[in-house]
Amino acid sequence: MAKDFIVTPWEVKGEVDYDKLVEQFGTSIISDDLINKIKKHTGKLHYMLRRKIFFSHRDLDILMKEYEQGKKFALYTGRGPSGHTHMGHLIPWIFTKWLQDAFDIPLYFQMTDDEKFLCKPKLTQEETKKFSYENALDLIALGFNPKKTFIIIDTEYSKTLYNIAIQVAKKVTASNAKAVFGFTNETNIGMYFWPAVQAAPCFLPSILSGEKIRTLIPAAIDQDPYWRIARDVAPKLGYPKTAAIHCTFLPALTGPKGKMSTSEGMQSTIFTTDDEKTVRNKIMKYAFSGGKDTLKEHRKHGGNPDIDISYRWLRFLEDNDKKLKKIYDDYKSGKLLSGELKQILVDKLNNFLKKHREKKEKAKKQLDKFILKD
């Protein structure tokens, strides 16, 4: 059986078997029962839940039970600001925005500029801070509620974070950190401490409010190990364990294996800063195709949408189920050609990015409302 995939917070390799991954990580598949419970409260379901792009969780069932008993919860997610934002980052943020609106709850968003500075030998503190602010504009552009969204730039909120982090750190040995994060004796001491800094926002809603508020982390499943330490420590500090909801990976343009990542090369990703021509060129040139070798064969036997990256990206981006199904069927039947399918994606992306750029421009004036200060 396919055991030839690797998923850690730092690398995703091979074609991921998500069922096996859930078993490996010890998370739970989101059951139909749980989905229905969510639907009961939100009225309708986000397409990422309908399509099981968000497919796995930890303690989401407990969180929903508490919610039905009248207990509030808060969202927490984040970003490592080591470069420009790409579409792979936006996927969980788009879903997070839906959760915020559907449940009318606060979001704490951590920009881990300290971690990126510590783990990337060549990045300076100035660079990671600059990317924090730039990435924040991408977040704000998605329409988050300025009254309920709190962006934490680690190095600028470090008084509060450090005071919480030392509480966490006191309960975590170097052995724990090595086991969860694969640290070695050659890892720098900033990285050793850093899991405590990342755990801090899990408890921030409780600390700031004085009530016990559970946090829910929407993120791609590779990020799950990061919060295992936070979950272990939570009861020792008297806070609720952080819950999580996990999504699959937006694949790299170049093929269905692994996830889209800047470190895989510029051609595997679409950045929010890419202009229309760049988007078109990248999709046309690099997007892995499920089409047949010749037009004749494609018309006769049809393409394979399941391995076609343009289709797979549309699954993450097109909220209209009917439209998506028609694309799937037409491609499979050979009615839709690979170039045409690519064009659908190009248009979808360029429409989205055009509006996104405008919203980012407006977001510059709103930035101050979102950044949490000590």
- Residue 105 or 196 with smaller CB distance to a second copy: 196
| Residue 230: its H or E element | helix 228-237
- Residue 165 or 337 with smaller CB distance to a second copy: 165
Q: Which amino acid is at 86?
A: H
Query: Binder to a second copy among 140, 196, 244, 287 (CB under 8 A)?
Result: 196
State in angstroms the smallest separation of the CB of 164 from a second copy.
10
- Residue 102 or 191 with smaller CB distance to a second copy: 191
Query: Binder to a second copy among 26, 43, 69, 173 (CB under 8 A)?
Result: 173
CB–CB of 10/82 below 8 Å?
A: no
For position 192 contacting a second copy by CB under 8 A, the verdict is: yes
List phi, psi (to 5°) of 312: -65, -35
Q: What is the DSSP letter of 373?
A: -
Which residues, 6 or more positions from 67, have their beta carbon under 8 angstroms from its beta carbon? Answer: 41, 73, 103
Q: What is the pattern of x (binds a second copy, CB under 8 A) and - over residues 139-158?
A: ----------------xx-x
Relative to beta strand 12-13, strand 28-29 is unpaired
For position 193 contacting a second copy by CB under 8 A, the verdict is: yes
Query: Binder to a second copy among 59, 66, 114, 222 (CB under 8 A)?
Result: 114
Measured between alpha carbons, how far is 8 from 330 in angstroms, rounded to an integer?
Answer: 36
For position 188 contacting a second copy by CB under 8 A, the verdict is: yes
Measured between alpha carbons, how far is 299 from 333 in angstroms, rounded to an integer?
Answer: 7
DSSP bridge partners of 54: 247
Query: Binder to a second copy among 43, 122, 184, 322 (CB under 8 A)?
Result: 184
Site size toward a second copy, by CB under 8 A: 38
Query: Binder to a second copy among 49, 172, 244, 363 (CB under 8 A)?
Result: 172
Q: Which stretch binds a second copy (CB under 8 A): 51-59, 65-73, 171-179, 203-211?
A: 171-179
For position 236 contacting a second copy by CB under 8 A, the verdict is: no
Q: Which stretch binds a second copy (CB under 8 A): 191-199, 201-209, 265-273, 279-287?
A: 191-199
Which residues, 6 or more positions from 211, have their beta carbon under 8 angstroms from its beta carbon? Answer: 72
Which of 131, 124, 118, 91 minimizes the C-alpha distance to 181?
A: 118
Measured between alpha carbons, how far is 115 from 161 in angstroms, rounded to an integer?
Answer: 13
Binding footprint of a second copy on the chain (CB under 8 A) = 114, 117-118, 125, 155-156, 158-159, 161-163, 165-167, 169-178, 183-193, 195-196, 374
